[in-house]
Amino acid sequence: MSERVVVASNNAGKLREFSAMLGEAGIALVAQGELGVPEAEEPHATFVENALAKARHAARLTGLPALADDSGLCVRALNGEPGVYSARYAQRAGGEKSDAANNAHLVARLQGVTDRRSYYYCVLVLVRHADDPEPLIAEGRWHGEIVDTPRGAHGFGYDPHFFLPELKATAAELDPAVKNARSHRAIALQALLARLEEDGK
């Protein structure tokens, strides 16, 4: 596999996080936007299908290996919601597309619910070329529970409501370096690196 990989995302924070870990394996990442690749559609009902669609899209348009992720929050009492719709949870219910609206909608959906167990989920897909029949797939879960009152100023998305009992803090209260070392994305990246080492890249 080429040591230059296109990331099927325009999220600068995500690119920094991926680059920090994969750079140690000698892999140079480039954001798809720098290569003129538009964002892919994400029409699927599962994280892995969306990530695979994004990876194949970027690989097809650049001729490079491509890395994509799809991630979100899954709440046990809501049968896995918001899941793949995490970024537009409130919008799908007729509200606006924003972190604040998503969090308000989630808290409202959980009123009267005692089981607040949830987890952040991330799946990473790496394709060597657009038609790769055996993409590398790695996943990570970060377990916590949902609290009604937001806490913390770091992070994004549902982080102010995602409480980690073992740390006695929400994800938004964690120092970014601590979060990045423990998060669902970090767990998935570690698993991907193990797969790359196993396959000799």
- Residue range 15-38, pLDDT digits in tens: 887 887 788 778 899 999 999 999
What per-residue confidence (pLDDT) applies to 201?
Answer: 54
What token pair was written down for 109?
A: 């959906």
Domains: count for the chain:
1
pLDDT in tens, 178-199: 998 899 999 999 999 998 888 7
What per-residue confidence (pLDDT) applies to 190?
Answer: 93
The pLDDT of 1-21, averaged and rounded, is 80
Residue closest to 64 by CA, chosen among 137, 25, 8: 8
Beta carbons of 152 and 171 less than 8 angstroms apart: yes
Active-site residues, by number, are: 70
What per-residue confidence (pLDDT) applies to 39?
Answer: 87
The pLDDT of 64-70, averaged and rounded, is 96
- Residue 158 belongs to domain spanning: 4-198
pLDDT in tens, 54-66: 999 999 999 999 9
- Report the percentage of the chain scoring pLDDT > 90: 77
- pLDDT exceeds cutoff 90 at 176: no
Q: Where are the alpha helices (DSSP H) in 63-183?
A: 89-92, 99-109, 176-182
- pLDDT exceeds cutoff 70 at 147: yes
Dihedral over alpha carbons 191, 192, 193, 196 (to 10 degrees): 130
- pLDDT exceeds cutoff 60 at 12: yes
User: What average pLDDT does the chain have?
Assistant: 92
Position 89: which residue type?
A: Y
Q: Where are the alpha helices (DSSP H) in 23-114?
A: 47-62, 89-92, 99-109
pLDDT in tens, 71-84: 999 999 999 999 99
pLDDT in tens, 149-174: 999 999 889 999 999 999 999 999 99
What per-residue confidence (pLDDT) applies to 42?
Answer: 82
Q: Looking at residue 150, which CATH number applies to its domain?
A: 3.90.950.10
